[in-house]
Structures are given as structure tokens and as C-alpha cells.
A and B are shown apart, each in its own frame.
Chain A
């Protein structure tokens, strides 16, 4: 269950790979190792530092959630891993994205293309615009098999139907020739997921997969992702701004702010006992039933403009714990403050172990 031979993951199917493709075998289950990643956008308005040193690891069977506001660099991180940033204006200026031990940054585009889809796949927020409107969904799913596996039309379509059934699209056989706009939002996201898992990737990056969906459908999609992950032992990176979505799916959470990870923790620890003021603010801003009639605790202010990130801790203008040490110098480093817990804050000791959320609830 936990340690699967890489060949066992792939189901029986013709495996003609593109020439130049290589086999990728994770060592000790470590799939992805992102280290000190820096991405900047060189624009007319100046240099926007979108990612400033992000590091994380992803193992088989693991779900890592990356949490953050709009513009915190979540999606850019995902695009940098996939190597699909538009250059210019985006440039990876430092760092490494190691997949099965090989740095993907600067890798030959041909090799990279065989990694995308085959090894690392991605699904997007808005499934309607992620599907080509002029081709039927079956054709689009089947394209993955025709192009990457060299299957003929009929086999590819059979595979497409099989996949549509696997992602629980009712009446897959009848609907295989339908067009994206004839499906509901949740069904479209399922089709997108079917395309992404078509080639049995070892890593699936889901960039806000449920943001465009309503709440009941969100839960279904998350369940589906969880189930697919359990079947195939892939590593899942879940990018979201929705703390509710993360809670029962993720194993670990990384909280991003202004292009930095400010806190990394196991999901239970983070919810029970946030160590960074930003995480605390996010958790406090979730409406709760026991707070009816009270004013919601929102985080004041706005995330910083990435062309003008403030000196010191980038969160200090919005932070109620901020002191002089936070306002100058380098941003606080991401330090291990307890086993499995990393936080980038000078004042984590005022938060960690204080159970601030609990005390407030009792008050």
C-alpha cells in the first residue's frame, strides 16, 4: 500500500513512450523536492518578485496543501514546477525543482514535455475554459493516449470511456461525444481530472480545483481526488485559498505569503495551534456557528504589491504582533520550532502552544 513498485502502479496497457522519454523512479518515495525556488516577473512596472525562496517536498501517497491569498505565489509555484511559466516576463532566478532526483529547471524542452502529463499533471481552476470548446470531451481525453501512447482512434476512445467511468461521469459511453459546454461545472472538472490522470502521473497538481464549483460539488471533487490518489499512490499538491477544502484531504499544509512559505505543518497541528500570525488570521476569518452576530475577524489591509515588498517581515504591516525587529532587515527565516513544524516569524513563541483560537472561542 505504502511502498509500491513503480511498475505496479501502471495498469496493463500498451506503453509506447515517446522517443527520448526516460523512466523516473522515486528514491525512498520522494517524488518532488523543491528547494529555494525564486521566480520573478520582469514587467514594465518593475520587478515583481513572485516567489522568494520556496522549499518543500512531496512524497508518494502524500497530499500537500499550499494555502494563500490571491497573489501569494501559489499558482506561480505550480507553473514553475511544470515549467509552463511564460518567459518572458517570468524568470526562475534561483532554486531547484527536483523530480525523482533530477532538476527540472533548465531541462531540455523535449524531455520536459515527456514529464508533463506522463509524470506530473495539472488541473486548473476553471474547467470550462480549461477544455477546448471545439472538440468533444472524449476526443480530448483520447488525445492523451493517441499522442503520448500512439494508440489508434478506437482504442483511445475506449480508454477515454474507461477514464470517464473512473471519474464517475454518468452515462460515459453516451456522453463521450459531447462538448464541454454541455456538461455542468462539476462534470467538466471531472473530465479535466480524467485528462490529467490519463497517463498515470506520479504527481498531480490541482490549482484551485474547486474554486469555481458550489459547495456540494466541491466535496464530491475532493472525494474523487482522494480516491484516485489512494488507487494510484500519486503525490497530490493542492493549491487553494479555502481552508475548508484543505482540512480533511491534506496531510501537510504550507502557508504562503508574498512568495514565501511562512508556515509548514501537519494539518491537525496547523488548525489546532497556528504558529504564524498570518495563519492565525486566516483561521480566525472563517465564519463559525458559535460566533453568530459577532463581527468576523478579518485580516486588515491587503497583501503587498510584489514589486514593492516591505522590508523585514512582509506581513508586518498587517500583523498585530509586529515589533521593531519585524520592520527592518531580512525576512525571518523558516525555522523548525517543533518536530515537523516550521514557521517564519520572530514572535512565534507568542502564538505556538498558546491555542489562541481556543481561548477566543471560550471567551
Chain B
């Protein structure tokens, strides 16, 4: 429940935890020594946890690689036309049954699918669903989980007990199983608008995904809370809102951001799975999951592998990019891993 240390006799002696983040005491000016400030030529005048992390990330090729991929996919989601206008068939909704299942060639870079749609433009347009669901679900889980985690961690006591148990209940439901259950209970109809469909998936994933973020936030807040600067802020007249906003949150949010980035990839994959099962997004919506589902009919995998290959490849690369970025961010924010 309350993760306080035993307070009995040792309470009076402030236990001096090690400093939070400093990597090394650069640019230290000794008190007795010459009172001149000498800027450190390598480090620049000032560095925070975040600028430290940025410097660290900047050096990693993996960061640039994954960030580049993500920028590309996000661009696809925002302006797919940018990628399709040179293609022989830029309209993803134009179908020509006479060309069904034709392999990649000059008429269509990625070939045609079972309905005669152009696989290339449908794959490009499919990015939008994945990014929307991924970002949406991450936003929802981080908001719900973050707020609940802060409450449970900072206020402790009953708040903590109740919120943590509720979190455990949701945590016990597997993400995919819960998603299937939720979307079976509230199925889409043929005329359900695109954004409502996306919203449903986001909501299902969000409601099931928040406990992991809440747990992380809670433990992170518990770690920051006993630091002297929180006590010092109280002693200098800061209220709970101010303490949470400017002292707890900035020091506790780093692991949450790292894990959220990794989760984003997981949510994209789950959306594809739900769509593959026919309950996530449904045609006429274009999505990688829907495309993979269409491509995996009996016999199709062997006769028209291009229908399966391209959407799967895009999906895998996108998920991989987010997970790689998450790892880089996590490493950069953790001074111990440097």
C-alpha cells in the first residue's frame, strides 16, 4: 500500500539519497577558489535532463534511422497524395475487377489485390489508420494512466489502494482479448463513419492499456516524492498542485514517455490484429490490418503473396520504428545506461 520506509527512529536522520540525475559534476566552481565562471567548452553553458537526453540521442544512428522512418510514415498519414501522385493508379478506391490479383509490374508497383485495387496506393493510404489508432491509443493511455498514477503515487493511502486495485482488474484482461470482446459487443455497421470506427478501437485499447502506464507513473512518483526538493518546495510554501506540476511530474515523466513510445508500436500491431479479425476497422476503411485480412484468404497467400507482403512489411517497419525510438529515448533518459 504505502511504500514508505519505516519511520521510527531513523526518521529524524534524513536519509540522503543519491542525487537524481547528474551524470558528472561538470563545470563545478569551488567556493574558495577563483570566483570566475568558466563555461565548459564541451558541454555548453547549461544542461538539463532533457537537453542531456537530446545530446545523447543525437549521437545514435538508431535514433535518426527510427525517427526518419516515423517522419515518413506520419507524412504518409497526413498527405498520402505526396506518395501516390507518381504511381500508375493514385486513387486507392478505384477498383478494376479485370485486373484482380495481377502481380507487381509497370501497371501497379505493388500489384493488384482481389478486388482489383492498387496495392501500392492502398498501402500508402493505410498508414493513416495505423497512425491515428497508435497515437490516439497512446494519448488516451498516457493521459488516463498518468493522472491515475500521479494520484495513487502522490496522495497514497486510500487513493492508492482503490486506484491500484482498479488498475489490477483492467491489467488482468489481456489487451487483445479485451479488444475483441469490446468490439464484438459494439460492432461496426457498414455505414459507421471512419472516425467513429477509429475512435472505438482507440477507446478499447485505451481503456485496457492504461494500467501499465499508471503503474509505471505511480512507482516513478513514489521514487521522486521522498526527494528533499519536494520537501523543500513544501517548506517554501508550494501547494500540492504546484508540487506535482513543477517538481514531481518533470522528474517522474521520463520512463512513462519511453514506455509510451514503445506501446505505440504495440497498439498499431493490435489494431492490425483486430482489423484482421474483421472487428477493428472494416472496409471501406483502408488499413493495413484490413489489407492483411483480405490477403490471407485460403489459397491467396500462395497465389498472390504480394497482397500480403507489402502491407505486412509496412506494418512491421512502422511498429519496429516506434519500438526502436522508444528504446533510444529510454536509454537517453536513463543516466545509468550511458
Contacts and interface: CB of A to CB of B under 8 A. Distances in A.
Contacts of A181: 19, 21-23, 25-26
Given A126-B228, A129-B227, A134-B251, A144 B236 contact: yes
Contacts of A84: 231, 234-235
Interface in A286-308: 303, 305-307
A217 B32 contact: yes
Interface stretch (A41-49, A57-65, A324-332): A41-49
A255 interface: no
Main secondary structure of the interface of B (DSSP, over half): loop
Interface stretch (B6-14, B131-139, B279-287): B6-14
Given A129-B20, A129-B229, A217 B235 contact: no
Given A124-B231, A192-B232, A178 B45 contact: yes
Contacts of A171: 29, 35-37
B191 interface: no
A212 B233 CA distance: 20
Interface residues of A, number: 74
Contacts of A116: 234-237
Interface stretch (B46-54, B77-85, B121-129): B46-54
A162 interface: no
Given A126-B16, A170-B37, A306-B8, A184 B29 contact: yes
B239 A113 contact: yes
Interface string A117-135: 1100111111011111111
Contact of A212 (B10, B16, B22, B30): B16
A134 B236 contact: no
A136 interface: yes
A43 B229 contact: no
A125 B12 CA distance: 12
Contacts of B12: 50, 70-76
B31 interface: yes
B28 interface: yes
Interface in A82-97: 82, 84, 86, 88-90
B167 to A, nearest CB: 23
A225 to B, nearest CB: 14
Contacts of B157: 88
A187 to B, nearest CB: 6
A113 B10 CA distance: 27
Contact of A186 (B7, B31, B235): B31
Interface in B220-254: 227-229, 231-239, 242, 246-247, 250-251
Contact of A122 (B28, B30, B236, B238): B236
A115 B234 CA distance: 11
Given A135-B250, A184-B28, A184-B29, A41 B8 contact: yes
A183 B28 contact: yes
B17 interface: yes
Nearest to B240: A109
B4 interface: yes
B27 interface: yes
Given A132-B250, A134-B48, A170-B29, A124 B228 contact: yes
Contacts of B13: 70-71, 75
A177 B46 contact: yes
A174 B37 contact: yes
Nearest to A180: B22
25 contacts: A48-B8, A70-B13, A71-B10, A71-B13, A75-B12, A115-B237, A117-B235, A121-B235, A121-B236, A122-B232, A122-B235, A124-B228, A129-B20, A132-B229, A132-B233, A134-B251, A171-B37, A178-B27, A181-B22, A181-B23, A182-B26, A195-B232, A217-B32, A303-B9, A307-B8
Given A82-B234, A207-B14, A306-B8, 19 more contacts: A41-B11, A48-B9, A113-B238, A117-B237, A124-B228, A124-B232, A132-B246, A133-B49, A134-B48, A134-B250, A135-B48, A135-B246, A147-B238, A179-B48, A182-B27, A184-B30, A184-B31, A216-B32, A306-B9
- Ranked nearest first, the 10 interchain pairs of A and B with the lowest CB-CB distance are A117-B237, A170-B35, A181-B22, A171-B37, A186-B31, A116-B237, A122-B235, A117-B236, A70-B13, A129-B228
